Chains A and B, each alone.
Chain A
Amino acid sequence: MKLLFAEDEKELSRAVATILRRSGYEVDTAYDGDEALRLAGMHYYDALILDIMMPKKHGMEVLRTLRQEGNVTPVLMLTAKSEVEDKVAGLEEGANDYLTKPFAVKELIARIKAMTRSREEMTPELIQVGGICVNRREQTLEGAGGSVSLNHQELELLEYFLRNAGKAFTRAQIKERFWREAADDLVVEVYVSYLMHKLESVRAKAAIHKDEAGNYQLLI
C-alpha cells in the first residue's frame, strides 16, 4: 500500500515515515501543501495523511481541492488542535478520519487500516450456496445450467437474499434498502423477477418465491 504523508515538521515526518515503511507501507513525503497536491495529482495513493498546519497551502485547502477535483482517496487529517470545530470542519470537508497530535504511530496505522479496508475485503469474492456460485468480481451467477451475467444492482439484491435466506421481505422493505430514490416500487418487482428467472435459467436449487401477499422470499 502506498501512502502520502504531508507534514512540515521534518523530524516528525522522518520518524513516522520510517515506522510506516517498516510496517510495510510505501511512503512518499511532502513538507508543504503545494507539494502534497502535486504528488497527489501525479501518483496513485491508497491513503493520504495530511497535517492541517502546513506552509504554502494548509491541509484543509489541500483536502478541499482534492475533493473538488473528484479525488476520493481516503484522507486522514493530523492536527495539533483538538477543538471540536476543527474536527468537524475537516470531516465535513471530506476527510475520512482525524488524529490529534501527539499521536501514537500504532494508532495512526490502525486508523489507516480501518480507512482503507475495502468493501471487497469484507465480502468474499465467491458466494457458494443453494447449488449456485455468485462471483462478485466477474459479476456472474453460475449453476448446474451454465452461467449468466448479473448487473451491479442484481448482484447486491441477490447477495441480500442469499444472506437472508428464508426471510420474507415486502416490496417496500426492498425498495427502502436499494431504491430509495425511485418514484415507485415497480422496479423492485422487475429486479426480483430478473433474479427469479436468472436463477431458474442456471438451474439453481435456490429460488425466489412470491407469496399471495406479494412478499419475496429466497429459499434454498
Chain B
Amino acid sequence: MTKEAFYGAYLPELERIFQELMDQAADLRREQEQEQTADRSPVEHYKGRIKSADSMLAKLKRRGLPPTMEAALTKNHDAVGIRIICNFTRDVYEVAQRFKEQNSVAEEKDYIQNPKENGYRSYHMIVRFPCGIGGVQEILAEVQIRTIAMDCWASLEHQLKYKKHVTNQALIGHELKRCANELASADVMMQTIQELIEDEREAGETA
C-alpha cells in the first residue's frame, strides 16, 4: 500500500510536519557552522522519514492496534520521525533543549540517564502539532537525539530484533550489552577529553 493510500488526506499534513522538523534540524546545524568555534557543530547529521504504510501496519499489528490511519496518527507517535545525531552527549542535551523551546512537547524519555536493559541509549521527544483535519486534533511526531556511538549500536541492535535466532539470542544480547557499555565509556571519555581541550583553549585565550 502506498503512503497516499494509507494516510489519505493527512499525508500533506504529515509532510508539512516532517519538513518543519527537518528545517529546525537544518537551522541548528547551519547556526553552529557560523559560530566562532565552528569546528564544534552539535548536530553531526540528521535524517527523517514519514513511516511507510507497510512499516506502520506492521507496528500497529505488533502493538495490537487496529490497522487504520486513525490509530496510526492518534495511538502511535512516529508516523513522522526525525533522528538527530550528535558528536557528544552534551550536544544531545543541548539539541533537546533547543527543540523543547521551539515545539510543544508531549513527552520526553531520557534513555541516556536511564538506559534500557539491553543497553539502548538515546533521548526521545514526542512533539505535538495541531491538525484540525477531520477528527484528528493533533498529530504526534517523534524526535530521537543520540550520539554517533549510540546510533551505531542502535542500528546493530535493530538487526538483532528482527532476526530471531533462538539459539544465539542470549549470547548476542549479552555481547551487545557489553558493546553498549564500551560505547558509553567511549562517549564519556570523548566528552571528557573535549572539555579538557576546551578548558585549555579558554585558559589560553584569557591568559
Please list 24 pairs of residues, one from A and one from B, whose beta carbons are closer than 8 Å in the complex, sorted by A's number: A138-B178, A145-B114, A145-B115, A146-B119, A146-B184, A148-B181, A148-B184, A148-B185, A148-B188, A149-B181, A149-B184, A151-B185, A189-B196, A190-B192, A190-B193, A193-B196, A194-B189, A197-B188, A197-B189, A197-B191, A197-B192, A201-B89, A201-B184, A203-B113
The answer to whether B182 touches A149 (Cβ under 8 A) is yes
In the complex, what residues of A have CB within 8 A of residue B192's CB?
A: 190, 193-194, 196-197
Q: Does B146 belong to the interface (CB within 8 Å)?
A: no
* Residues in chain A near residue B195, CB distance under 8 A: 193
A185 to B126, CA, bound (A): 46
- How large, as a class, is the contact surface on chain A? 10 to 19
Chain A residues 78 to 114 lying within 8 A of chain B, measured CB to CB, are none
Cα distance A138–B178 in the bound complex, in angstroms = 9
Q: How far is the CB of A161 from chain B (nearest CB, A)?
A: 16
Q: Which A122-180 residues have a C-beta within 8 angstroms of B?
A: 138, 140, 145-151
Question: Which 8 residue pairs of A and B lie closest in terms of their CB atoms, listed nearest first?
Answer: A146-B115, A149-B185, A149-B181, A149-B182, A148-B184, A193-B192, A148-B185, A197-B188
Task: Report how far A151 CA is from B188 CA in the complex, Å.
Answer: 13
- Determine the chain B residues whose CB is within 8 A of the CB of A148 once the complex forms: 181, 184-185, 188
Q: Which residues of A contact B191 (CB under 8 A)?
A: 197
Number of A-B contacts (CB under 8 A): 46
Whether B121 is near chain A, meaning CB under 8 Å from some CB there, is yes
A150 touches B185 (CB 8 A): yes
Docked complex: B169-207 residues within 8 A CB-CB of A = 177-178, 181-182, 184-185, 188-189, 191-193, 195-196
Residues of B with C-beta under 8 A to A194: 188-189, 192
Determine whether the beta carbon of A198 is less than 8 Å from that of B193: no
B152 vs chain A, min Cβ distance (A): 15
List chain A residues, Cβ under 8 A from B188: 148, 194, 197-198, 201
Closest Cβ of chain B to A198, distance in Å, is: 5
Residues of B near A198 (CB, < 8 A) are: 185, 188
CB distance from B200 to the nearest CB of A (A): 10
Chain B contact-residue range equals 10 to 19
Considering only CB atoms, which chain B residue lies closest to A151 in the complex?
B185
Beyond A151-B185, A193-B195, A201-B184, 4 additional contacts (C-beta under 8 Å) are A140-B181, A148-B185, A149-B182, A198-B185
B177 proximity list for chain A (CB < 8 A): 147
Pick from B89, B113, B185, B189: contact of A145, CB under 8 Å: B113
Which of A138, A145, A197, A201 counts the most chain B CB atoms within 10 A? Answer: A201
Which positions 172-220 of chain A face chain B at CB distance < 8 Å? 189-190, 193-194, 196-198, 201, 203
The answer for the CA separation of A148 and B181 in the assembled complex, in Å, is: 4
Q: How far is the CB of A18 from chain B (nearest CB, A)?
A: 43
What is the minimal beta-carbon distance from B91 to any residue of chain A, in angstroms?
15
In the complex, what residue of chain B is closest to A144 when comparing beta carbons? B114
Shortest C-beta distance, B194 to chain A (Å), equals 11
* Cross-chain contact of B121 among A146, A150, A151, A196 (Cβ < 8 A): A146
Digit string of B113-142 for contact with A (CB within 8 Å is 1, else 0)? 111000101000000000000000000000
Tell me which residues across on chain B come within 8 A of A189, comparing CB atoms. Answer: 196
Give Cα A196–Cα B191 distance, bound, in whole angstroms. 12
